[in-house]
Structure 1
Amino acid sequence: MHSPRKLVQTSLIPIRWGDMDAYGHVNNTIYFRYMEQCRVEYLEALGFKVMPHGTAPVIINAACTFLVPLNYPGVVEVRMFCGHPGRSSVQTHFELRLHDDDTLYATGDAKIVWMDVDSGKSVPIPDTLRVELTN
């Protein structure tokens, strides 16, 4: 059974010609870039920026299940969902479709851990993010 999850971000990302591989479809590594872009847009919209000091989110694992190949041209619609936050981490889930197409092309998961940039140790998720995820 899946834990409850909340839709937090939808991003539209054009497929570039260079995203394709020798088989004529989007290379598997690019799916992780699509999910990353959606995640970054979400966190930046909440005011969290990549900083050389202080605290920041990092990914400790990432997975993708490829269901139907994506091809150029097209616009990928990436939907990001978050589970209930723990002390220092939150599980995220992704659905990738073509814009205006209900077909599910891929699903993904990534665990975000908040860390102290200087020490590399986990720290509690910021209160503003916790409130966002639990409301």
Structure 2
Amino acid sequence: MRHLYECPMRWADLDLLGHVNNVVFVDYLQEARVDMLRTHVPDGRAERLVGRPGEGIVVVRHLVEYLNPLSFRFGPVKIECWVTELKAASFTMAYEIFDEDENGVRTTYARASTVLTPYTFTTERPRRLTDAERQALGRFLEPATPAAELWSEPREVAGGRYQLHVRFSDVDAYGHVNNVKYFEYFQEARVQLLDSLGREMPQEGGAGVVVARTEVGYRRPIHVRAQPYQVRTWVSQVGNRSAVVDAEITDEGTLLSRSRVVLVFFDPATQRSVDPPPEVRARMLAMLGE
């Protein structure tokens, strides 16, 4: 069984192209996930997953593939979500963000998956799923093959160091930075890296670069504090019309989170991918030592 959620849209969700910003999609997924648990498990079998005091779920990994631009309208966008894998101490959810016309023809804007684990916040430790939780989540189970994790070794490049200052509003009720905020942190660091490539570099979310795929892995919680965390960002692959940008957040050498983003060079007028400016491609290849 799949849960259907109708997600309202906000003007603030849009980027300079008039499309929903890639970071906001993760907000939509979170809303759909919580709605699924609260709507279909009201009898207490999974109340700890929904958020009983001291209990909840934490995100271990997000993977989002962006298929079509989503523009603003006053009506909601539809999100289907379901479970693809149940393990002893984690479960994986899948999502599809879409519209469907009166003839049943579907336009899909994004597909995503999330690995989650039950968590006891008082002890700061994950725990196993209970039989009741497995039964509740099993109602939504459609088994699928998990996507492989791909991470590159960090590189030291010009413009690749970013000082991350956590804001008080970034923190959830348990004192941890909300998983969605990590996407914003990596975006901020990525924009700085791209800006260092020069004036010829098209701007993400504006004119010339769009995000095609985002993967974020979570290792340790991030908390609000006065001193900044360290973000290191680098180009790991360069294609004909795309590039892969990897990043990691660390604290005195301890890995907290990492990400991989596929960027596509894009012409807003034709809505098609294009070759990057030669100067930009050359600088990206130089980051790879090529």
- Which band: TM-score by shorter chain? 0.7 to 0.9
Question: Does 1 or 2 have the higher relative contact order (CA < 8 Å, sep 6+)?
Answer: 1
- 1:4-53 per-residue CA deviation (whole Å, 9 max, x = no partner) reads 77443111121111110112111101111111001111222322354999
Confirm whether residue 84 of structure 1 aligns to residue 237 of structure 2: yes
Normalising to structure 2: TM-score of the pair? Answer: 0.42
Q: 3-state SS of the aligned residue for 1:104?
A: strand
Confirm whether residue 134 of structure 1 aligns to residue 285 of structure 2: yes
Asked if the contact 1:89–1:111 (Cα under 8 Å) also holds between the matched residues in 2, the reply is: yes
Confirm whether residue 60 of structure 1 aligns to residue 212 of structure 2: yes
Aligned to 1:118: 269
Q: CA RMSD in A?
A: 2.4
Normalising to structure 1: TM-score of the pair? Answer: 0.86
Asked if the contact 1:6–1:133 (Cα under 8 Å) also holds between the matched residues in 2, the reply is: no
**Structure 1: gaps (5+ residues):** none
Percent sequence identity is 25
Where has structure 1 moved over 4 Å in runs of 4 or more? Answer: 1-6
- 1:88-107 per-residue CA deviation (whole Å, 9 max, x = no partner) reads 00111111113xx1000001
**In 1, distance between residues paired with 2:167 and 2:153?**
34
**Structure 2: gaps (5+ residues):** 1-149
The equivalences for 1:38-57 within 5 A come to: 38-45=189-196, 46-47=198-199, 48=201, 50=203, 56-57=208-209
How far did 1:123 drift? Answer: 0.4
**In 2, distance between residues paired with 1:18 and 1:123?**
38
**In 2, distance between residues paired with 1:128 and 1:115?**
16
- Structure 1 residues 87 and 41, CA, compared in 2 at 3 Å: closer, same or farther? same
